[in-house]
Structure 1
Amino acid sequence: MQLKLLTVLLCFVATTYSHAGCPLGFHQHRRSCYWFSTITGSFAEAASYCRYLESHLATLSSRKEYSYIRGYAIRHGKAPNYWIGASDLNIEGRWLWEGQRRMKFTAWSPGQPDNGGSNEHCLEMRKNYGNYLLNDYICQNTGNFICEKEM
């Protein structure tokens, strides 16, 4: 795994809860807690890391949820892109969230998804595409990521 190993502090943070009900380092919005990584990894590594934190790559179920995540990334994020939890790895062009749930809400950047060279199968929010609009991207490339944990 190419992710940088974190110190013992991460273990402490992952198991310690703040007063709002979310683990420390996570940010609450409605019934979910979100963690915006400062480390990078491939899509698979990001998904694995989120599972380690007892969460999953973020899913977007509504415009309000997307607006919160996007707004936080615009205001506080320093990453050029963030992996979130959807792909079309099973069937080209059929984008599904983790758990094989169909995407009901999307905010694609204009012209996306374009499957650039027929190898872009994982979902990211890209800063230079309309300030974190959605983009399909190469799963093996590295990026930051957003984990979500339901309360």
Structure 2
Amino acid sequence: MSLRLVFVSLCALASVTVAEDTTRCPRGFLEHGSSCYWFSNITGSFAEARSYCQFFGSHLARVTSKDEADYLRSRANEEKGSTGYWLGATDLIKEGKFVWEGGSPLNYTNWRPGQPNNVSPQQHCLTLYKNFEYNWNDYDCIKKTEFICERKVSMCCCNN
């Protein structure tokens, strides 16, 4: 049996087993662009938030464009009630140099003017902060806040 035939057969089977499910994101995640996002309704430190995201097969959100930043700010405003959300960048490795987890540089930023300011020596983690209209803020990593997990959209051969 050719690989293409196996692939087509699996797609046919998938369409039968999930007939009504056309989402490409796990339940509770919201699709935007090529990513799925989960806005937590629980709080945790930066490390706890990172662990939750990993448990869900995702990572703390990495914002790489204005479009993505605008989407996350808009959704954060719609969620109501959260004072902030952890994103996946820190300057724990080198003070003042924020990088995404895994070491990728921040090629796009959306800092509130005057941020990051490192007001306290523990402000090493990145949040979307409500009082700054959900623009970026450096924040104490051990404080508890909500968080945003991100994962890539699932692609199935059936959606081609």
Give the TM bin, normalised by the shorter chain: 0.7 to 0.9
How many Å apart are 1:119 and its aligned residue? 1.8
Contact 1:36–1:77 (Cα < 8 Å) also in 2: no
Percent of pairs with identical residues: 47
Distance (Å, rounded) in 2 between the aligned partners of 1:116 and 1:142: 18
**Deviation digits for residues 97-120 of structure 1 (CA, Å, limit 9, x no counterpart):** 011000011111121100112220
**Deviation digits for residues 60-118 of structure 1 (CA, Å, limit 9, x no counterpart):** 01001111111111122421100000000000011000110000111111211001122
TM-score, normalised to structure 2, is 0.81
Give the match for residue 59 of structure 1: 62
Distance (Å, rounded) in 2 between the aligned partners of 1:73 and 1:140: 21
Give the match for residue 134 of structure 1: 136
Give the match for residue 34 of structure 1: 37
Q: Does 1:74 align with 2:73?
A: no
Q: Gaps (5+ residues) in structure 2?
A: 1-17, 154-160
SS at structure 2 position matched to 1:116: coil
Higher fraction of helix: 2
Rg larger in structure: 2
Corresponding letter in the other structure for 1:20: T
Contact 1:43–1:142 (Cα < 8 Å) also in 2: yes
Corresponding letter in the other structure for 1:136: D
Distance (Å, rounded) in 1 between the aligned partners of 2:109 and 2:121: 20
After TM superposition, the runs of 4+ consecutive aligned structure 1 residues lying more than 2 A away are none
TM-score, normalised to structure 1, is 0.86
- 1:101 aligned residue (87, 100, 104): 104
Give the match for residue 120 of structure 1: 123
Stretch deviating more after TM superposition (46-55 or 104-113): 104-113
SS at structure 2 position matched to 1:74: helix
- The Cα RMSD (Å) is 1.3
Contact 2:120–2:140 (Cα < 8 Å) also in 1: no
